[in-house]
Chains A and B, each alone.
Chain A
């Protein structure tokens, strides 16, 4: 079976820092996603990519950059971490077409001091 691996699992940063989160999938899925999950809120889409080197903005792209270096990997950069920010960043992937149910990784938990 396949797996989605997110690294790191926990990330503690400082205000103003640039932080990079990584995601790898071995399902050979075409579409990959980055979602942000805040306590008490639904998942919000930051960026998604339908193929290698493609990048599409989601509802929450401001303050983030992303890169689909190859089909199996999709990274997300927080360009300037905000003080007291705390959220879980979830990576997901789905087969071609994108309207199939995405499969999720376990998340990266970010805390900013």
Chain B
């Protein structure tokens, strides 16, 4: 099974609503990253949260990290149609190249 995994396959919300995507992981990590991938594009990093941090914000995005439960969440407030994308979490260790991606959660934001 995946070493990093988003908990939901897909979800949909109406524009303006808030939404949270969750991720669980199975290894000791140095950092966790959230990526967004829009159709036809490569993944784009949204937030990097290090293992000694509990929360990180970037505009309408808020990421949390709970190393005791090995879980993370990404919340988006006041969603917009352009937030429609697949959201991935990825975990990293000290070892170069050891970045593990989850399968992704597909978010659809409706007008």
A43 vs B6: C-alpha distance in the bound complex, in angstroms?
13
Residues of A within 8 A of B40 (CB): 106
Size bracket of the B interface: 20 to 34
Q: Are A101 and B96 in contact (CB under 8 A)?
A: no
Instruction: For the complex, count residues of A whose C-beta is within 8 A of B.
Output: 27
Q: Given that A90-B42, A106-B41 are known contacts, is A42 also in contact with B97, CB under 8 Å in the complex?
A: no
A33 vs B38: C-alpha distance in the bound complex, in angstroms?
20
A61 vs B100: C-alpha distance in the bound complex, in angstroms?
15
Residues of B within 8 A of A43 (CB): 43, 88, 90, 101
A95 vs B88: C-alpha distance in the bound complex, in angstroms?
21
Residues of B within 8 A of A106 (CB): 40-42
Q: Are B92 and A99 in contact (CB under 8 A)?
A: yes
B9 nearest in chain A by CB position:
A40
A26 to chain B, nearest CB (A): 16
Q: Which residues of B contact A (CB under 8 A)?
A: 2, 4-5, 30-31, 33, 40-45, 48, 88, 90, 92-104
